[in-house]
Structure 1
């Protein structure tokens, strides 16, 4: 397994996610009590996209502190989770030991990951792409870890969401960030955490938007064949105050569904 040399953005984002781990593990958002009682930290979009994982090897990229990876293991997958946060990986390993679920966890920056093996499934979801400056390296990691015939599945917030300011001005909500990126990240000096918007961590975050064309082109450029792509009017968190609860618990939508809030991509390695 290889890792990248630290960079300013990587070190800052890793420090942020290290600081978030204890807050997230103790939050109602992640519902560790429900997971310990036998629940699954996977939604209907993720389950449908991957299908039945029983008896399949599965690589979960950017797994945070492991609840999704452990959920795949609970469903019968031979699951490996990867995250760049040392605190997240430490917590994930502790949860695996506590629950007795046979998942393994590795610490690495996703663009430089090389586990020296391949998997039936590669999976990643929700709030993952904006932390990556380079989708070319990300897609090559996916291709490197899929066996011939293996399947990749991504569920992600729509890049259109990235442009909006989450605070209203006198004329309502306006675009704040560019849809098309120009190399430099958007830097938020106080990142906080989505599980408690009143909490302050005193840490910045660096993030990049990736238009749909960039996602598809990166995967195709790495030799993967796109077999499915969908856009969805729902999202499993509330990034903007003007979203309202959807019919399915835990999901949000915009009244009238004027534009997509999330998308999914399925690809295979021929």
Structure 2
């Protein structure tokens, strides 16, 4: 077992000796893993404190006693484990901290992050558990209780410049380009990111990125045409594909991306 905190990306495989115990922090999520001769122990909890370091994993003596453990039994426990990032299985509705307004026939690109889930695997390929790195509430996204879909809710800064992006390796960054092709002002205070349609990539700086998304609003029943693109050539040359999209979008797909956004 290594004695120092590991600084490598958190999704790299890790091998534990017998009775080794590790603590992984990803944002507000804390995961504890311990390997014993015939079992693996796993426990997790969320903290309300803002962590100084959004990611670390390091050895500890034991799993904290106040946590309930899940036990996975084996004749002989495998040695290697891996935490694997995955995008959420439903669209994530992010509320902007300040409304964003696009005039008619204008466009804007925003870098919007959303939390990922963590798959706990024992190598080579035994999935034990999936945990979201952040507790997200359910939200209904649509103009009425009959029209719309169930999503997850989150908040975002909707940053306009890539250079403003903080280092948060537990969230996936989606470049979103919005075209307002309608004749009205488009005021965006909530936007739904179709993460099940996106691939997930790891970048050399330790951040997670998704395919870019293009949304074209034409003022028709609050629906937008959306297309998924590819990473630019520079990013693509450095990116490591972590997962393919969960859902394959249809050509010329319509997606409910905005609500309550019109002003005369």
Please give the TM-score of this superposition, normalised by the length of structure 2: 0.25
From the two aligned structures, give the one with the greater strand fraction: 2
Please give the TM-score of this superposition, normalised by the length of structure 1: 0.25
